[in-house]
Amino acid sequence: VPHSTALNNAPTAGALLAILRDERIATRATLGEKAELSRLALNQRLALLLDADLVCAAGQEPSTGGRPPIQFQFNPLAGFLIGADLGISVARIAITDLVGRVLAYAEERRLIEDGPEVTLPWVARQAESLLSGLDKKLDNVWGVGVGVPGPVEFEAGRVVSAPFMSGWDHYPIRLWFEDRFGCPAVIDKDANIMALGEHRSHWRRFDHILYVKAGTGVGCGVIAMGDLHRGANGSAGDIGHIQHRGDGEPLCRCGKTGCVEAVAGGWALVRDLRAQGIQVSTAEDVVRLAGGHDRVALQAIRRAGRVLGEVLADVVNFFNPSVVIVGGTIGQAEGELLAGIRETVYQRSLTLATKNLLVVPSALGLRAGVIGAAQLVSEAILAPGAIDQRLAAMQGRSLQESTIPMASAGS
């Protein structure tokens, strides 16, 4: 007879949900077998998940004579997530289901420089407005994921030393959202959430991928062994301020000279086009011109691609990824930018490192950020331990609700 504590190793309700998500659809019999749970233990856990609406009945399995067995599946509409991507000059926000599928979306030209005390309340108001459009309320929100254009202390959930986010340094973004929405929030660097969004949505079968954000600034999100690599200080992927050794060495907005971003960043393209008398003010303008086949804009973007290609060639030698995904505002001018990058990477990287390397455009486009932000918080709240905590809290609440009248009567 096994010692009673051996039961501690048996799957909890949260772990059972993870097994069901792997299976997609399963009967009681399949679940009991996969989870190695007794009928009784399985039913107890399933009841909790059904109560919380996290599991629902799916279509019936073809009958083999008797009563057909009920099929169960995970219900991603049991709760909702907020995914926000706060860029330098555009803010994007989405309401998604529990696995990051977009149900409602909004974007607006907003400057990150306005600071947290203007920006965060705007996010909250937008979220509430999108939720009400879906006929949902604040307490339907289970998690908030937010991307920002600068390095983040991930555990603390706040920005550190971001050169273009004045007013944000050490502001407690995570706590602000947790306080406002009463649910877990996670904050990460924009390139990281975009990398996660692309990986989880399209490239999950590859362990090592890079996402290059070619926007106003230049950044990179790194997936190693299937997970985000943030580095020792959360600054991993910062390829925008690697020194590019070309002819001219333009001044970067970081104060150094010759940074990759000072040649290939959206703001640098705007600077270069203006110097040639072309009226542009944002990276979006440059991409629009290129879309209209403007020769100068196309050349500028192609050159940016080559410069990005040079730094990526080094990074590919060092990191040996399977896929390099190119996104961001400038990344929307796929053809020219990718051509420049591919040309340089395939020429300069080691043959072994490029043998199976894919260099591809972003599949999620400019929504990579909001989707990735939602997926980041999704993974936190759907972790078995987090689900178990939620179920325990719900049981506590319903217990409390049923005892409140008696307690009130007694006081």
Q: Measure the CA angle with vertex 405, ends 399 and 407; round to 5°.
A: 80
Asked whether the beta carbons of 218 and 128 are under 8 A apart, the reply is: no
DSSP H helix total and E strand total for the chain: 14, 15
Site string for a second copy, 129-168 (x = CB under 8 A): ----------------------x--------xx-------
Question: Rounded distance, CA 301 to CA 269, Å?
Answer: 8
In terms of CB distance, is 293 or 355 closer to a second copy? Answer: 355
Q: Could you tell me how many residues make up the chain? A: 411
State which of residues 20, 26, 31, 37 lies at the interface with a second copy (CB under 8 A).
Answer: 37
Hunting for tokens 């309401």 — which residue is that? 95
State which of residues 21, 28, 208, 288 lies at the interface with a second copy (CB under 8 A).
Answer: 208
If one asks whether residue 224 binds a second copy (CB under 8 A), the answer comes out as: yes
Choose the stretch contacting a second copy; rule: CB under 8 A; options: 37-45, 125-133, 379-387, 391-399. 37-45
In terms of CB distance, is 71 or 317 closer to a second copy? Answer: 317
Question: Rounded distance, CA 245 to CA 247, Å?
Answer: 7
Least Å from the CB of residue 82 to a second copy: 28
Hunting for tokens 């300069």 — which residue is that? 348
If one asks whether residue 43 binds a second copy (CB under 8 A), the answer comes out as: no
State which of residues 174, 199, 241, 342 lies at the interface with a second copy (CB under 8 A).
Answer: 241
Give the total of residues touching a second copy (CB under 8 A): 58
If one asks whether residue 41 binds a second copy (CB under 8 A), the answer comes out as: yes
Hunting for tokens 């290939």 — which residue is that? 264
In terms of CB distance, is 2 or 65 closer to a second copy? Answer: 2
Hunting for tokens 């104060």 — which residue is that? 255
Q: What DSSP designation does 70 have?
A: P
If one asks whether residue 390 binds a second copy (CB under 8 A), the answer comes out as: no
Least Å from the CB of residue 160 to a second copy: 7
Work out the angle between the directed axes of helices 368-381 and 190-202 (0-180°, nearest 10).
80
Strands (E), 98-184: 102-109, 141-148, 152-153, 158-159
Q: Where on the chain is the footprint of a second copy (CB under 8 A)?
A: 2-10, 36-39, 41, 151, 160-161, 206-208, 220, 222, 224-225, 227, 229-239, 241-243, 245, 311, 313-315, 317-322, 348, 350-353, 355-357
